[in-house]
Amino acid sequence: DAGVIQSPRHEVTEMGQEVTLRCKPISGHDYLFWYRQTMMRGLELLIYFNNNVPIDDSGMPEDRFSAKMPNASFSTLKIQPSEPRDSAVYFCASSRDSSNTEAFFGQGTRLTVV
């Protein structure tokens, strides 16, 4: 398996534009997590899914953020409209099941909103 795959690796967008980040988890993993990493706040969990169902979205900062997982092999994190304070590295991670919780991270998407 190629591991967790995220796209794009880098995204630069203007304030107010819609941004969509994509993630393909490791095949066979039941859990998918979206994290945001900044210098000030470290690694923050935004939302996670179990078998494509959102379990906890309490970390989503506001209504401008939304996430979907239409099937076991794909998830999106959307920001609309984007703001400069959304600039961060966004990581997707997956883990096998509730007893094997090692999280495998993707390469991350570095988002810059200007």
Partner 1 sequence: GENVEQHPSTLSVQEGDSAVIKCTYSDSASNYFPWYKQELGKRPQLIIDIRSNVGEKKDQRIAVTLNKTAKHFSLHITETQPEDSAVYFCAASIIGFVGNEKLTFGTGTRLTIIP
Residue numbers of the site for partner 1 (CB under 8 A)? 31, 33, 42-43, 45, 48, 50, 55-56, 58, 91, 95, 98-99, 101-103, 105-108
**Total residue length of the chain:** 114
Whose Cβ is closer to partner 1: residue 42's or residue 70's?
42
CA distances from 72 to 11, 32, 36, 68, 113 (A): 25, 9, 21, 11, 29
The rounded distance, in Å, linking the Cα atoms of 84 and 54 is: 27
What's the min distance (Å) between Cβ of 63 and partner 1? 21
What residues pair up with 35 in beta bridges, in sequence order? 45, 91
Please say which residue, 50 or 66, places its beta carbon nearer to partner 1. 50
Q: Given the complex with partner 1, which of 81 and 107 has the nearer CB atom?
A: 107
